[in-house]
């Protein structure tokens, strides 16, 4: 394992993030405050509790998941897209690095930023509502696994995209809507039967449910189903990335 090569890529990506540190921190903090004003105050005044959890506290896991998913995809896709755009990807591919080491460097940096931002959102939420994390180990598991998995997805999107417009296409048209419709701000058990069954097709439901279970010992689906779904999604992303490097898709012109 070329640890120096991995660290070089990781360090470069982290340095790129640190150059916009103010924006990276300010954006999730401001977004969190706005969500609490809109959802916590406006909707929370009509919905006092869900599953015996105050509504303001209930939306925190969903709000964190919304931020983590979008940040993971965005950071990882930009990280690998710019080397392709500038042509420096060929220097990386010709370096004594396996595709596993390249992926660890880029995905590791993107996941690190997502985890940090997720914790910032959690800290900000603590100023608005009292929080209790029933299963902190499981909370960290879902936090890290979600960050890594969607950073892998972002890595795939960054290789697939041939323009900046496509970089925004998947997060804008898929990730954000799926998260909003995945029970981030409500329980899917509140939906009519037909829409409840439709929601079960949404992969975000299982991520949000597992994450919320780690906080309040209550979720829309069982813990094992949530773990199985995120593990399956991780395996699929890894298989696609392995195929990309094997075939050179998107890497060679």
pLDDT in tens, 82-128: 888 777 777 777 778 788 888 899 999 999 999 988 888 888 888 87
The pLDDT of 25-36, averaged and rounded, is 75
Q: At what angle do helices 55-86 and 136-160 cross, to 10 degrees?
A: 30
In the chain, the percentage of residues whose pLDDT exceeds 90 is 23
Residue with tokens 């799926």: 178
pLDDT band with cut points at 50, 70 and 90 for residue 47: low
- Read off the pLDDT of residues 134-172 as tens digits, 9 standing for 90 and up: 999 999 999 999 999 999 999 999 888 877 777 777 777
Residue with tokens 């909707």: 43
CB-hemisphere CA count at 13 Å for 103?
22
The pLDDT of 190-195, averaged and rounded, is 85
Highest mean pLDDT among 10-14, 169-173, 216-220, 234-238: 234-238
Highest mean pLDDT among 8-12, 40-44, 46-50: 8-12
Asked whether the beta carbons of 113 and 79 are under 8 A apart, the reply is no
Q: Which pLDDT score, from 0 to 100, does residue 252 have?
A: 65
The pLDDT of 207-220, averaged and rounded, is 89
Catalogue the long-range contacts made by 93-101 (C-beta closer than 8 Å, 24 or more residues apart): 93/251, 95/5, 96/2, 96/5, 97/2, 97/5, 97/6, 98/2, 99/241, 99/242, 99/245, 101/1, 101/2, 101/5, 101/6
Range of weakest confidence among 15-29, 36-50, 178-192, 224-238: 36-50
Domain boundaries of the chain, sorted by first residue = 3-247
| DSSP of the chain | --HHHHHHHHHHHHHHHHTTHHHHHHHHHHHHHHHIIIIIIIITTT--EETTEEHHHHHHHHHHHHHHHHHHHHHHHHHHHHHHHHTTHHHHHHSS--HHHHHHHHHHHHHHHHHHHHHHHHHHHHTTS----S-HHHHHHHHHHHHHHHHHHHHHHHHH-SSHHHHHHHIIIIIHHHHHTTTSSS-GGGS-HHHHHHHTT-HHHHHHHHHHHHHHS--SS-HHHHHHHHHHHHHHHHHHHHHHHHHTTTT--
Asked whether the beta carbons of 58 and 50 are under 8 A apart, the reply is yes
- Confidence (pTM): 0.88
Range of weakest confidence among 27-31, 56-60, 115-119: 27-31
Is the pLDDT at 234 greater than 80? The verdict is yes
Is the pLDDT at 217 greater than 70? The verdict is yes
pLDDT band with cut points at 50, 70 and 90 for residue 183: confident
The per-residue pLDDT of the chain, averaged, comes to 83
Asked whether the beta carbons of 223 and 210 are under 8 A apart, the reply is yes
Highest mean pLDDT among 43-52, 77-86, 184-193, 214-223: 214-223
Is the pLDDT at 239 greater than 80? The verdict is yes
């Amino acid at each position: 394992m070329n640890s120096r090569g991995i660290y070089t890529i990781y360090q470069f990506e982290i340095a790129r993030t640190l150059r916009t540190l103010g924006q990276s921190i300010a954006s999730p903090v401001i977004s969190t405050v706005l969500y609490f004003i809109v959802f916590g105050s406006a909707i929370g005044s009509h919905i006092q509790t869900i599953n015996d959890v105050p509504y303001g506290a209930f939306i925190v896991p969903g709000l964190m998941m919304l931020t983590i998913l979008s940040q993971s995809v965005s950071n990882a896709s930009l990280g690998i897209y710019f080397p392709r755009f500038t042509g420096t990807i060929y220097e990386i591919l010709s370096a004594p690095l396996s595709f596993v080491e390249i992926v660890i460097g880029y995905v590791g940096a993107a996941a690190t930023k997502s985890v940090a931002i997720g914790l910032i959102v959690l800290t900000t939420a603590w100023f608005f509502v009292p929080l209790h994390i029933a299963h902190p180990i499981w909370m960290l598991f879902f936090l890290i696994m979600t960050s890594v998995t969607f950073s892998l997805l972002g890595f795939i999107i960054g290789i697939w995209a041939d323009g900046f417009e496509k970089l925004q296409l998947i997060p804008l048209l898929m990730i954000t809507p799926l998260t909003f419709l995945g029970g981030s701000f409500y329980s899917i058990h509140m939906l009519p039967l037909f829409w409840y069954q439709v929601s079960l097709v949404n992969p975000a439901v299982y991520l949000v449910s597992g994450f919320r279970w780690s906080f309040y010992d209550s979720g829309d689906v069982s813990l094992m189903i949530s773990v199985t779904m995120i593990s399956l999604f991780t395996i699929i992303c890894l298989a696609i990335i392995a195929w990309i490097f094997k075939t050179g898709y998107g890497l060679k012109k």
